[in-house]
Structures are given as structure tokens and as C-alpha cells.
């Protein structure tokens, strides 16, 4: 597939004509904003001009998330419908996945670092106040998203890391627990025993089938009927990482960004690529400049492809051998999820139940 073309604000694959998620997913009452729409300035009282973007309010609460977030979007919409704040909605949505030992990309049960220790990263951002909080390389606490929210609410800082983040969490009553489940420990052991034929860790079988290190994360953006938006991204990071490695998830502007007047964006996938592109912030800035969410996401994915020049990160046609996902939700309720290669989906709940929706993409998966 070649580069997507846009028709009426929607992206289609040049080669296969695949529709983007927005066309496929029946939306209620979108306010369509053309690509040329930009910042409008509405004057308030004398000397008190306030900037307002030309987006109407959404028809009701909406939450979007990565594909592992169907339960998160359900919870987030339930909470917003009950009048709870958008950040609480996003965080309590992802907490369901953080506490689930069967999701090996997040929280309890997440895959550990190369020493077999689970280290978690998370960030939150609250659109109405433009405040943010984050933790990185946090050990022994199941719900880093709740700790990140407390960093935002109870400190003058944005990011706490490692032992400092743990001490802060314990000060607020979080219990230390062993986060390494048997399934995660066994996956780590399989990886470790296959690292080299020259060490003393023997393989448990004869085959050395291709072993791809998993990445996984959950990001959730929540928008209420008043047009207030917040987001949260949380992860156990790259499986078997060097201890102390921090990806995009806890970095405001990379794995998450929210502008209360525009919308929010979160990411999953190869964190290093999102860090180097300031990905989520760039998506939100694109929307602020008038791009639709799908165009905003595809633009940043294209930039990531263009700036990937390291040979070991390229597949044969000179394209990245990794993927990155962005999930963007504009304050009028328009949304998109997108990735480099076809085949992905993301979770959406617009008040009619959570469902998976196809992501827009740049290239057909080879
Ligand atoms: N995107 C999650 C990570 O790379 O840590």
C-alpha cells in the first residue's frame, strides 16, 4: 500500500481503498471541521480575549483506548455518565487492566525487565487544568496510573521515578506487592535461556524459533458531554528491557498529551520512536492546526517512518520493522486510531457500548 489519500477528511489506502475508522464507525452528530480550520479568537471582556477552537461539544461521553482497553472504555463512559471527572474516568478505566494478571503489558502481570523485575511507567493529563503527573520505573505497585494522578494532584512536580516514586506511593498508602506472576516469570525465563548458546542457561527445547519481544501498553482518552477531556497511558514497558529503561508512556508529550481546548492523544508501540517524535503532542498540535484526528495521526506516523534511518530498525523496503499506534480524540467527539501497518484496531465507547474499530494506517502489512 502507498500513502493514504484523504477524501472529505477521511483516509483511504491508495492501493486497496481501505476506509478509515471514522467512515466505518457510525458516529452521532460530528461537527466536521475542514483541514483549513484554525484557531479562532473570541473576545471576552475587554483585555480578556480567550482562545477557542471551532469545535462544538460532543453528543455525550466518549472514551477511546488501545485494543486491550474495551473494559477501560466501558468503565470510563460509565463514570463520566455518572458525572465523574474525565481524568478519574480514564484512570479507573485503565486500572481494570493494570490489576488484571492476564494482560502481560501493563501493571500486575506485566513482563519484567532483563533481571526479572517488573518496572511500571504511567502518565496522566487533565485537560480542564492542563496539569499532568507521571511515574517511571516504579516497582511493586499494581496501579501506577493512580500514583501518577496523585503526583499531579499532591505535588508540585510532574514526574517521579524509581525509589522516589515508590516512597511517594507508600506515603499515600499504596501496598507493595510482588507484580511478577508465574506466566510473566516463565516468559522471562524462556527469553533468558534463548539469549545465547554460549552461557550456562540451557534452552528448554531444541528449537530457537523467532522470539519477538512484546511491547504493550494501554492508553485511554476520555471526553465528557461538556467537552472536557483527559487521558492516561500506563505500561510495563518493553519486555526484558535494561533496568531503568523508560519509554514514551510516562513522558508528557510523547506517550500522552492533552490540550483541553483541542483534544487528547495517547500512544502504544515502540516507545523510542514516539519519544523521538514527541508523538502525542505533535498529534494534538496537528489537530489544533485544523487537521482531522485521522490526518493528525497519519502525519506523525509518516514523520516517524521518515526519521527512522537506522538499518537495524528497517525492514527490506526501507520501512520501519516496528509499529507505533496513536489514539486521538478531539473535543467535539471526532476520533481516530492509527498505526504504521494495517491490521490494528482500537477500542471506542460513545455511550452505545465498547467495540473495536479498525485503525487507519500508512502501509499494508507485508
Ligand atoms: N510504548 C511503551 C513503551 O515503549 O514502553
Report pTM. Answer: 0.86
Q: Is 89 helix (H, G, I), strand (E, B) or coil?
A: helix
How much distance in Å is there from the Cα of 15 to the middle of ligand 1?
31
- Domain extents in the chain: 21-363
How many Cβ atoms sit within 10 Å of the Cβ of residue 283? 32
**Average pLDDT score over the chain:** 86
Tell me the pLDDT tens digit for each residue of 230-254: 999 999 999 999 999 999 999 999 9
Q: How far apart are CA 50 and CA 223, in angstroms?
A: 21
Q: How far apart are CA 206 and CA 202, in angstroms?
A: 10
Provide the greatest CA pair distance for the chain.
77
How much distance in Å is there from the Cα of 247 to the middle of ligand 1?
5
Q: Cell 508523538 identifies what position?
A: 279
**Which residues contact residue 285 at a Cβ distance below 8 angstroms, ignoring those fewer than 6 apart?**
none
Of 1-5, 61-65, 172-176, least confident by mean pLDDT is 1-5
Ligand 1 atom 5, closest CA: 237
Enumerate residues lining ligand 1, CB below 6 A.
215, 217, 235, 237-238, 247-249, 268-271
**Which residues contact residue 34 at a Cβ distance below 8 angstroms, ignoring those fewer than 6 apart?**
9, 290
What's the rounded mean pLDDT across residues 167-188? 96
Q: How far apart are CA 58 and CA 42, in angstroms?
A: 20
Q: Chain-centre distance of CA 201, in angstroms? A: 36
Position 48 scores a pLDDT of 33
Return the ligand 1 atom nearest residue 255 CA.
1
Write the CATH number of the domain with boundaries 21-363: 3.60.20.30
- Cβ pair 219, 98 in contact under 8 A: no
Active site residues: 207
How much distance in Å is there from the Cα of 324 to the middle of ligand 1?
9
Return the ligand 1 atom nearest residue 270 CA.
4
Tell me the pLDDT tens digit for each residue of 24-38: 333 332 333 333 233
pLDDT at 21 over 90: no
Angle between helices 86-98 and 70-81 (to 10 degrees): 150
**Which residues contact residue 25 at a Cβ distance below 8 angstroms, ignoring those fewer than 6 apart?**
348, 355, 357
Amino acid at each position: 500500500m502507498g500513502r493514504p489519500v484523504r477524501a472529505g477528511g477521511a483516509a483511504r489506502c491508495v492501493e486497496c481503498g481501505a476506509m478509515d475508522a471514522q467512515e466505518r464507525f457510525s458516529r452521532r452528530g460530528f461537527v466536521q471541521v475542514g483541514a483549513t480550520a484554525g484557531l479562532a479568537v473570541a473576545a471576552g471582556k475587554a483585555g480578556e480575549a480567550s482562545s477557542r477552537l471551532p469545535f462544538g461539544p460532543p453528543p455525550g461521553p466518549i472514551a477511546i483506548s488501545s485494543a486491550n482497553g474495551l473494559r477501560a472504555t466501558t468503565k470510563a463512559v460509565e463514570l463520566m455518565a455518572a458525572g465523574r471527572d474525565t481524568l478519574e474516568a480514564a484512570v479507573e478505566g485503565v486500572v481494570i487492566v493494570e490489576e488484571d494478571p492476564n494482560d502481560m503489558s501493563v501493571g500486575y502481570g506485566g513482563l519484567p525487565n532483563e533481571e526479572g523485575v517488573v518496572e511500571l511507567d504511567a502518565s496522566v493529563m487533565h485537560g480542564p487544568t492542563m496539569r499532568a503527573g507521571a511515574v517511571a520505573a516504579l516497582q511493586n505497585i499494581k496501579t501506577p496510573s493512580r500514583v501518577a494522578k496523585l503526583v499531579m494532584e499532591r505535588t508540585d512536580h510532574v514526574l517521579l521515578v524509581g525509589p522516589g516514586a515508590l516512597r511517594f506511593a507508600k506515603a499515600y498508602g499504596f501496598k507493595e506487592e510482588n507484580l511478577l506472576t508465574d506466566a510473566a516469570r516463565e516468559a522471562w525465563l524462556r527469553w533468558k535461556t534463548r539469549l545465547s548458546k554460549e552461557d550456562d542457561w540451557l534452552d528448554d527445547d531444541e528449537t530457537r524459533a523467532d522470539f519477538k519481544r512484546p511491547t504493550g501498553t494501554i492508553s485511554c482518552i476520555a471526553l465528557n458531554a461538556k467537552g472536557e477531556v483527559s487521558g492516561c497511558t500506563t505500561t510495563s514497558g518493553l519486555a526484558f528491557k535494561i533496568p531503568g529503561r523508560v519509554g514514551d508512556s510516562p513522558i508528557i508529550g510523547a506517550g500522552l498529551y492533552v490540550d483541553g481546548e483541542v483534544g487528547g492523544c495517547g500512544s502504544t508501540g515502540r516507545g523510542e520512536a514516539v519519544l523521538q517524535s514527541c508523538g502525542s503532542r505533535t498529534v494534538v498540535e496537528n489537530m489544533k492546526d485544523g487537521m482531522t484526528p485521522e490526518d493528525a495521526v497519519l502525519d506523525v506516523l509518516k514523520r516517524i517512518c521518515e526519521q527512522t534511518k537506522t538499518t537495524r530498525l528497517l525492514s527490506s523496503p526501507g520501512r520501519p520493522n516496528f509499529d507505533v499506534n496513536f489514539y486521538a480524540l478531539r473535543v467535539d467527539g471526532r476520533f481516530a486510531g492509527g498505526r504504521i501497518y494495517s491490521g490494528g484496531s482500537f477500542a471506542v465507547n460513545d455511550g452505545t457500548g465498547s467495540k473495536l474499530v479498525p485503525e487507519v494506517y500508512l502501509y499494508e502489512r507485508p
